[in-house]
C-alpha cells in the first residue's frame, strides 16, 4: 500500500488534467472548466504523507501548466500550499465525514484559482478576467466541493481492491481459554 | 512546523522560483517534456472517437448513406466548377499584376489538423492541434476553418502545437471593417469581450470620425505580417466611443464557434 498509494494519486492527477483538457462539456454548458486538482489535493492532504502531497503538487501543477498557456510552474505553489495547510492540521479534521470533505473541497477549489491569478498578475501576465470570472469561480468552487467526497469513495474502493487488508492481533489467547468439562 | 515541512516548502519554492524566473528557458523544454506524458492518452482518446465514428457509420442505413453520397457528389461537382472559375480569375489577376508591375501575392498552403485538447484554465483561450514541427508547422502559422479565422500557433513541439485563439491576449489581429467592397475602417482585435462567451471579441482603435455599423464584415488586413489579408474574422455587433473620444471600440461576433471546432486548417510555408 505504501508504494501504491502515491502512484495512484499521481496517476489520478494525470488523468484529471487530461479530462480537463479533453472534455469540453462543462465549458459548453456552464462556460466554466472545472479544476479537478484541488479536490484531489484535499484527499492527499488528509490521507497521505508529506512526500505524496509534494509529489502531487509538483506533478499535477506541471502537467496542468504543460497543457495550458500558464507559465510553467505557476500552479505548483498554490496546490502545495493547500496540501501543506491540510496536512499540518489533519489531526484536527474529521476526515471521514462527508461534510468536512465537502467544506475542504470548497475552500481548496476557491483558493487555488485565486492564488494562481495573483501569481500571474505578479508575473505581469494578462489573463482574461472580468465580471464573468465571478460566475466561473463560484461554479468551479461548488463543483470542486461536490467532487471531493467522491475522491474519498473512489480511492477507498481502490484501496480495498488493490491492497492487502491490515492484519489485526486479536485479544484471544488459546492458553487462557476456559476449558469446560473434566480435566 | 516540523523539519520535513520546511524542507518540502523550500524545495517547492525553489522549483517554482526557478521555473518562473526563467520562463523563456524553462517553457520550451519543460512544457513539451511534461506534455509528452499525455501522448498515449490523446492517442487512445482519438482511437476511441474514430471507433465510435466508424460504428455509427456502420449503423447508418444504406439509403441514408446513398442520399448523402449523392449530395456530396453534387457539391463536389459545383466546387470543381467554382475552382475552374477561381483559377481563371487568379491567372487574370497575375497577368494584370504583371502589367502594372505589382508583386504577385504569395498563395498559402494548408494542412488539416484535429483539435486534441483545450486549455484547462478558465483564463486563457487556447487549444492543442494534432500537427507539430514534424508536419512543417511553425510558430505564427495561421489557423482557420472554412468559416473563418481561428487564431495563430504560439508553441510547437514535435507532434502537436498550441494555438492561441482569437480573443486571447496572445492573438491580436489587424483587421479591416468592410462596407460591401469598400473599407469602412481599420482596427485591431485586441481581446475578449466577455469571459464566459468566447464568440465575442473586442475591436479597438477604430477611428472616432468613421461610422461602424452592425452587420459589417471584419476581415484580416494583412498588416503585421502574420495573418494573410482577406480572411473573415466576424461581424460587427455594435460600436461605442471610449472615454475622451480618442478612438472607438466595437464588439465583434466571431465567424467560427471556437468552443465547438473539432478540425482546423493550419497554413504551412
Domain shared by B75 and B164, yes or no:
no
Query: pLDDT-based confidence at A24, cuts 50/70/90?
Result: confident
User: What's the domain range around A117?
Assistant: 4-162
Summarised one tens digit per residue, pLDDT across range A41-51 is: 999 999 988 99
- Percent of chain B clearing pLDDT 90 (strictly above): 40
CA distance B207 to chain A (A): 25
B122, A134 Cβ separation under 8 angstroms? no
Exposure of A85 in the CB half-sphere (CA atoms within 13 A): 14
For residues B178 and B211, membership in a common domain is answered with yes
Residue of chain A whose Cα is closest to the Cα of B6: A84
Is A175 a domain residue?
A: no
Q: Where are the beta strands (DSSP E) in chain A?
A: none
Same domain, B90 and B165: no
**Is A67 inside a domain boundary?**
yes
- Distance CA(A116)–CA(A13), nearest Å, equals 18
Q: Would you give the DSSP letter of residue A92?
A: G
Average pLDDT over residues B216-227: 89
Does residue A23 belong to the interface with chain B, where contact is any CB pair within 8 Å?
Answer: no
What pLDDT score does A2 carry?
A: 65
Q: Out of B16, B32, B119, whose CB is closest to A73?
A: B16
Q: Please, which pLDDT band fits residue A93 given cuts at 50, 70 and 90?
A: confident
Mean pLDDT of A85-98: 88
Region B210-237: mean pLDDT is 89
Between the alpha carbon of residue B98 and those of residues B91, B101, B105, B106, B228, the distances in Å are 11, 5, 11, 14, 21
Average pLDDT along chain A:
89
Final residue of a domain: which of B105, B137, B167? Answer: B105
Residues B59 and B169 grouped into a single domain: no
pLDDT of residue B47: 86
Last residue of a domain, one of B74, B105, B136: B105
Q: Is A138 on the interface with B (CB under 8 A)?
A: no
**If you write DSSP's letter for every residue of chain B in order, what string do you get?**
--HHHHHHHHHHHHHHHHHHH-HHHHHHHHHHHHHGGGHHHHHHHHHHHHHHHHHHHHHS-HHHHHHHHHHHHHHHHHHHHHHHHHHHHHHHHHHHHHHHTPPPPPP-EEEEEEEEEE-SSTT--EEEES--GGGT--TT-EEEETTEEEEEEEEE-SS-EEEEETTSTT--EEEEEEETTEEEEEEEEEEES-SS-TTEEEEEEE-TTS---TT-EEEE--TTSSSPTT-EEEEEEEEEEPGGGS-EEEEEEESS-TTT--EEEEEE-
**Whether A127 and B19 lie within 8 Å, measured CB to CB:** no
The domain that contains A42 carries what CATH number? Answer: 1.10.1760
At B121, give phi and psi (nearest 5°).
Answer: -90, 150
**Residue A1 reports pLDDT greater than 60:** no
Which of B189, B202, B205 has its CA nearest to residue B246?
Answer: B205
A50 touches chain B (CB under 8 A): yes
On whether both B90 and B207 belong to a single domain, the answer is: no
Q: How far apart are CA A60 and CA B176, in angstroms?
A: 43
**Mean of the pLDDT values across residues B92-118?**
83
A180 to chain B, any CB pair closer than 8 A? The answer is no
The per-residue pLDDT for range A62-82, each reduced to its tens digit, is 999 999 999 998 999 999 999
Residues 62-101, chain A, touching B (beta carbon < 8 A): 62-74, 76-77, 80, 84, 87-88
- Report how far residue B216's alpha carbon sits from residue B214's, in angstroms, rounded to the nearest whole number: 6
Per-residue pLDDT of A145-175, as tens digits, reads 999 999 999 998 888 887 777 677 777 777 7
> Per-residue confidence at B106, pLDDT binned at 50, 70, 90?
low
Q: Dihedral of the CA atoms A166, A170, A175, A180 (nearest 10)?
A: -130
- CB–CB contact B41 A33 (8 Å): no
Residue A173 inside a domain? The answer is no
- Please give the residue that has the higher pLDDT: either A175 or B259: B259
The structural domain count of chain A equals 1
Greater pLDDT, A183 or A57: A57
Q: Name the pTM for this structure.
A: 0.85
| Bigger pLDDT: A180 vs A31 | A31
Inter-residue contact A52 to A9 (CB < 8 Å): yes
As for how many domains chain B has, the answer is 2
CB contact under 8 A, B23 and A71: yes
Element containing residue A63 per DSSP (H, E): helix A50-66
CA distance A30 to B79: 39
Examine the domain organization and report whether B182 and B265 are in the same domain.
Answer: yes
B16, B95: one domain: yes
Which residues are within 8 A (CB) of B196 and not within 5 positions of it... i.e. 6 or more apart? A31, A32, A132, A135, A136
Same domain for B136 and B100? no
Angstrom CA distances, A162 to A53, A101, A153, stand at 21, 23, 14
How far apart are the C-alpha atoms of B52 and B46, rounded to whole Å? 10
Q: Taking CB atoms and an 8 Å limit, are A66 and B125 in contact across chains?
A: no
Restricting to A residues 143-172, those with a Cβ less than 8 Å away from any Cβ of B are: none
Residue B143 cell numbers, joined: 489557423
What is the percent of chain A with per-residue pLDDT over 70, rounded to a whole number?
97
**A67, A128, A140: residue with CB nearest B195:** A128
* Domain assignment present for A176: no
DSSP letter assigned to residue A94: -
pLDDT at position A101 is: 93
- Show the cell assigned to A103: 467544506
CA distance B149 to chain A (A): 20
Q: Which CATH number do you get for residue B254?
A: 2.40.10.350
Q: What is the ipTM of this complex?
A: 0.83
Q: Would you say residue B102 has pLDDT above 90? A: no
Listed range (B25-39, B206-220, B250-264) with the worst mean pLDDT: B25-39
Look at residue B163 and tell me whether its pLDDT is greater than 90. Answer: yes
What's residue B140's pLDDT?
A: 92
- Name the minimum distance, in Å, from the CA of B31 to any CA of chain A: 5
Residues B247 and B200 in one domain: yes
Mean pLDDT of chain B: 88
Please report residues of B whose CB lies closer than 8 A to that of A44.
Answer: none
Q: How far apart are CA B122 and CA A80, in angstroms?
A: 20
- Per the CB < 8 A criterion, the answer to whether B115 and B261 are in contact is yes
Last residue of some domain: B105, B124, B158?
B105
pLDDT over 80 (residue A179):
no
- Together in a domain, B80 and B129: no
What string of DSSP letters covers B54-87? HHHHHHS-HHHHHHHHHHHHHHHHHHHHHHHHHH
Q: What is the pLDDT of residue B101?
A: 78
In contact, B215 and B224? CB cutoff 8 Å: no
Q: Under an 8 A CB cutoff, do B34 and A77 touch?
A: no
User: B176: buried, middle or exposed (CB in 10 Å: 19+, 13-18, 0-12)?
Assistant: buried
Whether residues B37 and B143 fall in one domain? no
How far is it, in rounded angstroms, from Cα A54 to Cα A48? 10
In this structure, the answer to whether residues B173 and B195 fall within a common structural domain is: yes
Chain A residue closest in CA terms to B2: A88
Domain that holds residue B132: 113-269
Per the CB < 8 A criterion, the answer to whether A64 and B120 are in contact is yes
Confidence class of residue B21 from pLDDT cuts 50, 70 and 90? confident
Amino acid at each position: 500500500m505504501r508504494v501504491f498509494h502515491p502512484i495512484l494519486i499521481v496517476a489520478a492527477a494525470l488523468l484529471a488534467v487530461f479530462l480537463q483538457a479533453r472534455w469540453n462539456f462543462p465549458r459548453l454548458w456552464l462556460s466554466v472548466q472545472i479544476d479537478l486538482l484541488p479536490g484531489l489535493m484535499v484527499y492527499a492532504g488528509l490521507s497521505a504523507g508529506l512526500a505524496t502531497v509534494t509529489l502531487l503538487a509538483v506533478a499535477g501543477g506541471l502537467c496542468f501548466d504543460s497543457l495550458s498557456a500558464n507559465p510553467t510552474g505557476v500552479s505548483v505553489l498554490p496546490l502545495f500550499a493547500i496540501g501543506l495547510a491540510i496536512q499540518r492540521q489533519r489531526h484536527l479534521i474529521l476526515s471521514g465525514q462527508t461534510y468536512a470533505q465537502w467544506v475542504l473541497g470548497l475552500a481548496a477549489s476557491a483558493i487555488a484559482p485565486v492564488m494562481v491569478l495573483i501569481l500571474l498578475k505578479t508575473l505581469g501576465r494578462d489573463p482574461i478576467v472580468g465580471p464573468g470570472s465571478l460566475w466561473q469561480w463560484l461554479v468551479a468552487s461548488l463543483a470542486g466541493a461536490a467532487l471531493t467526497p467522491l475522491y474519498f469513495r473512489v480511492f477507498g474502493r481502490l484501496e480495498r481492491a488493490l491492497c492487502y487488508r491490515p492484519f489485526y492481533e486479536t485479544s484471544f489467547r488459546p492458553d487462557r481459554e476456559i476449558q469446560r468439562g473434566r480435566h | 512546523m516540523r523539519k520535513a515541512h520546511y524542507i518540502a516548502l523550500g524545495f517547492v519554492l525553489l522549483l517554482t522560483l526557478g521555473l518562473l524566473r526563467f520562463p523563456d528557458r524553462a517553457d520550451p523544454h519543460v512544457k513539451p517534456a511534461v506534455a509528452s506524458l499525455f501522448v498515449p492518452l490523446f492517442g487512445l482518446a482519438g482511437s476511441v472517437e474514430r471507433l465510435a465514428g466508424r460504428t455509427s457509420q456502420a449503423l447508418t442505413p444504406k439509403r441514408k448513406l446513398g442520399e448523402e453520397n449523392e449530395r456530396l457528389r453534387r457539391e463536389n461537382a459545383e466546387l470543381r466548377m467554382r475552382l475552374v472559375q477561381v483559377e481563371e480569375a487568379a491567372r487574370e489577376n497575375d497577368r494584370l499584376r504583371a502589367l502594372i508591375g505589382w508583386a504577385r501575392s504569395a498563395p498559402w498552403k494548408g494542412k488539416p489538423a484535429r483539435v486534441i485538447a483545450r486549455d484547462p484554465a478558465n483564463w486563457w483561450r487556447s487549444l492543442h492541434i494534432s500537427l507539430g514541427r514534424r508536419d512543417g508547422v511553425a510558430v505564427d502559422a495561421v489557423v482557420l476553418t472554412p468559416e473563418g479565422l481561428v487564431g495563430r500557433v504560439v508553441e510547437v513541439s514535435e507532434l502537436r502545437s498550441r494555438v492561441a485563439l482569437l480573443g486571447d491576449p496572445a492573438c491580436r489581429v489587424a483587421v479591416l471593417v468592410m462596407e460591401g467592397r469598400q473599407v469602412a475602417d481599420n482596427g485591431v482585435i485586441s481581446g475578449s469581450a466577455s469571459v464566459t462567451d468566447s464568440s465575442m471579441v473586442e475591436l479597438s482603435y477604430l477611428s472616432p470620425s468613421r461610422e461602424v455599423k452592425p452587420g459589417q464584415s471584419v476581415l484580416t488586413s494583412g498588416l503585421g505580417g502574420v495573418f494573410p489579408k482577406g480572411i473573415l474574422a466576424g461581424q460587427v455587433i455594435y460600436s461605442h466611443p471610449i472615454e475622451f473620444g480618442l478612438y472607438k471600440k466595437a464588439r465583434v461576433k466571431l465567424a467560427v464557434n471556437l468552443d465547438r471546432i473539432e478540425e482546423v486548417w493550419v497554413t504551412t510555408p
